[in-house]
Amino acid sequence: METTETKTNGIVMLGLKGKLDTTTAPQLQEKLLAALAGGEKQFAIDCAQLEYISSAGLRVLLLAAKQLRSGNGKIALYALKAHVKEVFDLAGFSAALPLFGSQSEALSSFTH
Amino acid sequence: MTALVMMSFKNQLGEIERLGRVVTEFAQHHHWSPQVLFEVNVSLEEILTNVISYGYEDNREHEITLRLAFADGELTAEIEDDGQPFNPLEMAEPELNKPLEERQVGGLGIYLVRKFMTELAYQRYEGKNRLTLKKKIAPEE
């Protein structure tokens, strides 16, 4: 998995590319926890190039979402491929981890 | 590649990458759709990860065998390990309707396997766990 990271208007923009599985999930966990420890509270995750996710990937995103909630932060995911989105739906995560179609929709969710 | 593949993995998480390559090659050979490949890949990753992460209490190297067979539109995958007895079919279903804060993520992997496969069966024999997964696969349109 490759990740890209930028920051726009206080929102950490994280792009995920490739596979988020048992072997790559720890990488993302480290990145997210470091950002959280650094005081970041808003995350927008670009999933347009995320080809694969297993429960190990879900676990990391759930961990981040839980920590953000307790600190009044927010995480939004966008542009998920259909089969990746299906995993979120099956896991019942869609309500807790908001999913958006596009970057602009995801970003506008932070202002509301 | 024939309709039958047998291979073994060590009890190291790095093997998951090799598993993905084997499954992808098998899927391409049998012209499965990307969706089917994804579902099979996730299922086998979940099972192998469980065995590697929780199956062994010693620090020794163990062998986990995988057998893939595809015939008459049905995939049969058998995973055999010599780890401690563990029947994933006995795991409680995750509490999908609970609020996020109360959710435990345990059991989610097996839950996905159940959703993606048609049939699961567990056997313990001769000191080994054997999990058999079956999936009906329609030819790609």
pLDDT in tens, B94-127: 777 777 667 766 688 999 999 999 999 999 999 9
pLDDT for the residue numbered B119: 96
Q: Which of A21, A66, A69 sits opposite B45 (nearest CB)?
A: A21
Nearest Cα to Cα of residue A37 among A71, A9, A8? A71
Chain B closest CA to A7's CA: distance in Å?
Answer: 26
Q: What is the CA radius of gyration of chain B?
A: 15
pLDDT per position in chain B (141 positions), as tens?
558 999 999 999 999 999 999 999 999 999 999 999 999 999 999 999 999 999 999 989 999 999 999 999 999 999 999 999 999 888 877 777 777 667 766 688 999 999 999 999 999 999 999 999 999 998 765
Query: In this predicted complex, what is the ipTM?
Result: 0.92
pLDDT at A3 over 70: yes
Choose among B20, B38, B49: nearest Cβ to A56: B49
Mean pLDDT estimate for chain B: 91
CB distance B96–A59 less than 8 Å? no
Looking at residue A72, its pLDDT comes to: 86
CB contact under 8 A, A58 and B99: no
Q: Which residues of B18-42 are buried (b: 16+ CB within 10 A; e: fewer)?
A: ebbebbeebbeebebeeebbbbbbb
3-state class (DSSP) for residue B53: helix
Distance, CA of B32 to CA of A84 (rounded, Å): 18
Contact A59 B41 (CB under 8 A): no
Contact (CB, 8 A) for B41 and B75: no
Query: 3-class SS at B11?
Result: coil
Model pTM score: 0.93
CA B22 vs. chain centroid, Å, equals 13
pLDDT at B7: 95
